[in-house]
Structure 1
Amino acid sequence: MKLLRRIAVVVVLVAVGLYAAVVGYMYVNQRALQYAPQGSVFELADANLPGAEKISIPSGDAVVNGWFQAPVQGKPLIVYFKGNSDSFSQEYERYEQFAAEGYGFVAFDYRGFPASPGTISQDNILEDATAVFDWAAGQGFPLVIWGRSLGTGPATYVASIRGAQALLLETPFLSAVTVAGERYPILPVRLVMQDQFPVNAWILDVQEPVFIGHGTGDTTIDVSNGERLFELVPNPSELWIEPGAGHSDLWARGIWERAKTFFGEALSQ
């Protein structure tokens, strides 16, 4: 019996040690797990955007870099917040479509992503997002906000503290810590996660009309995040759930057509 008890104690101690090691590893490396900023910068000169220009915007003690194109008369300027990987410039085809139909846009890399040197953190991302929005507001055009994936965090935050005409959230999360908790249910993510992006709290202060798009085939951020978030929206416009669409499928599935309708209705109010 004594031998069995000793074996049991050893097994428990080993299990506790392994668990602690996993938690420690995730704590130390959490930002490397949360963000994937590697990738090249697509050159503006190689995009079909003859009216766009490169911009550099001060943010805190740093500078963020991006592209800007003014809208034509009667169309808004889209303030676009990218996801958690690569450079904003890799989505140049979206900006080409915006510009081709008269919409303006401003898009950029948060600090620590390929086009903007610096350190990635929630605080820096929110500071960068606010700085870019304030710069865009100074251009004198009606503004709409578009956040994609990770970008739905800063998009919602900015909409909660600034005034825009509309907020579009593409594949949003209820909060980043919610996604992490769903992915790692046995780990104490709420205790150790630094960049939690509480969109579910920020959305309560958003007065703009809100459109949310999500796909039932999304394995990165489960569609239930978008559905639960929409239930919290003070000024809901539309919840579009696309059957079978994955995390990066909504552009090909027609979100731009829906966005134009949503923005048009928001600007007419």
Structure 2
Amino acid sequence: MSMGKRIARSLWVALALVACAYLGVIAYMYVNQRALQYEPQGEVVALADTMLAGAQEIAVPVEGSVVNGWYQPPGPGKPIIVYYKGNSGSFSKEHERFEQFVADGYGFLAFDYRGFPASPGSISQAGILADALAVYDWAAGQGYPMVVWGRSLGSGPSTYVASQRQPKALLLETPFVSAVTVAAERYPFLPVALVMQDQFPLDQWIGNVTAPVLVAHGTGDTVIDVSNGERVHALAPHKDELWIEPGADHGDLWARGIWNHARPFFQRAL
């Protein structure tokens, strides 16, 4: 065999190995995508260990299962904040937020999607959306005005709910345009749009939201780039404030004062 043919054969073998490795990475991510996408591990804080003396534990039935959370009714003239948590751990670790809601007279309902620490089951987009609607409907049945707050992953189900129901307001904290957009930004060399099952197309749902929308994001966000929040706000049919906090990372906005933006927003919406 000539030198040229040996070189050509070596190149074809190398290309075949690279292609096999690339396909192997895609196959691995497809099979394990939900384990890679979600971070449900975490401790559940006991309600008794918080300052929420007036709140109660609730169990909302949905599709033969149940989602567990906490609920407290609002004071006179205030709404229930239905809070859709982010991707990591249990809703209960954010009890400081709920304590502040209650201190200012607001009611709240917060919960874990199925497969997260406080609620049994497995995680999927379909399950999260079903849980989100069931919890909203349970809260709406209490007879108070309703506002919706979605954080990070929760920006998907909160926007979906707002597109299907009619809350007074929708607050989106560090939202994504879609989950598949974030995945494509993180793995530009992979065909994520073709293989990703839980894509959460917020950009499609928000066009049907009739409530005013406030978007909050930080320029230092290393999980969901701030451009996502800017694009989501641009897509909202009924825009309210776009609060971009300089230097804030993904988990910084509560400490940076998001409640000082949320509270007047909800007052305007009512």
Question: One fold, TM greater than 0.5?
Answer: yes
The residue correspondences of 1:79-94 to structure 2 (distance < 5 A) are: 79-94=82-97
**1:127-154: per-residue Cα shift (whole Å, max 9, x none)?**
0000000000000000000000000000
Cross-structure match for 1:210: 213
Q: Aligned pair 1:52/2:55, yes or no?
A: yes
How many Å apart are 1:61 and its aligned residue? 1.5
**Is 1:142 matched up with 2:145?**
yes
The DSSP-based 3-state class of the residue aligned with 1:68 is: strand
What is the DSSP-based 3-state SS (H/G/I as helix, E as strand, rest coil) of the residue aligned with 2:251? coil
Aligned to 2:17: 14
Corresponding residue number in structure 2 for 1:3 = 6
- Point out where structure 2 has 5 or more consecutive residues left out of the alignment: none
- For 1:180, the equivalent position in structure 2 comes to 183
3-state SS of paired residue (1:85): coil
Distance, in Å, in 1 between the alignment partners of 2:141 and 2:163 is 18
Q: Distance in 2 between matches of 1:264 and 1:86?
A: 30
* Alpha-carbon distance in 2 for matches of 1:149, 1:131: 20
Report deviation, 1:54: 0.1
Secondary structure of the corresponding residue to residue 61 of structure 2: strand
1:229 Cα offset (Å):
1.0
Give, in whole Å, the separation in 1 of the partners of 2:250 and 2:194: 27
- The one-letter code matched in structure 1 to 2:73 is A
**Aligned residue-pair number:** 267
| Counterpart selection for 2:154 from 148, 151, 154 | 151
Root mean square deviation, CA, Å? 0.4
TM-score normalised according to structure 2 size: 0.98
2:115 corresponding residue in structure 1: 112
Residue of 71, 81, 85 corresponding to 1:68: 71
Identity %: 66
The answer for the alignment partner of 2:36 in structure 1 is 33
Match of 2:248 among 245, 248, 256: 245
Shift of 1:208: 0.1
**Residues 54-111 of structure 1: per-residue CA shift (max 9 Å, x gap):** 0000011110000000000011100000011100001011011111111000000000
1: CA distance between counterparts of 2:236 and 2:99? 30
Where has structure 1 moved over 6 Å in runs of 4 or more?
A: none
SS at match of 2:82: strand
Q: What runs of 5+ residues in structure 1 fail to find an aligned partner?
A: none
1:191 aligns with 2:212: no
Residue in structure 2 matched with residue 167 of structure 1 by the alignment: 170
Asked if 1:265 corresponds to 2:268, the answer is: yes
In the alignment, the residues of structure 2 paired with residue 107 and residue 117 of structure 1 have an alpha-carbon distance, to the nearest angstrom, of 16
State whether structure 2 residue 235 is matched by structure 1 residue 227: no
